[in-house]
Amino acid sequence: MAVRFAATINAFNRGIEDIKPAAAVSLIEDWETALADVDVPGAKGISRDLAALRKQLESATPDGERVAAIVARLGDAVTKIAPRAEKASEKLSGLGEALSDAGSAQDDEEI
């Protein structure tokens, strides 16, 4: 799980607008795999949002507003689930904040 955190946070630090869709899809697939066996309230919703985000990024014409909304929703969901993740609470909190910031930044750019 630590590698997923590092790769994801590094991607956000570099700027998500610079991430190639294939690289983003690879990160999303890693997270989908990691969440497959997680039985914590909220995990299924995160998995659904990850699948929706992956489909948008795999699309020939992704909807920027939809992507921003999904990323923001993921940020909220990850932040809410973080306190229940004993070993990764701090990392999930940071990831949730990065997702929320990215979602709101993308949303601001759309306006």
| Domain map (residue ranges) of the chain | 2-110
3-state secondary structure of 15: coil
What is the token pair recorded at 14? 């570099």
Instruction: Indicate the pTM of the whole model.
Output: 0.84
Residue in the structure block whose two tokens are 């989908």? 32
State pLDDT tens for residues 12-37. Answer: 888 888 888 899 999 999 888 888 87
State pLDDT tens for residues 67-80. Answer: 989 999 999 999 99
- Asked if 73 and 49 count as a contact pair (C-beta separation under 8 A), the reply is yes
Contacts of 79-82 with CB under 8 Å at 24 or more apart are: 80/42, 81/40, 81/41, 81/42, 81/43, 81/46
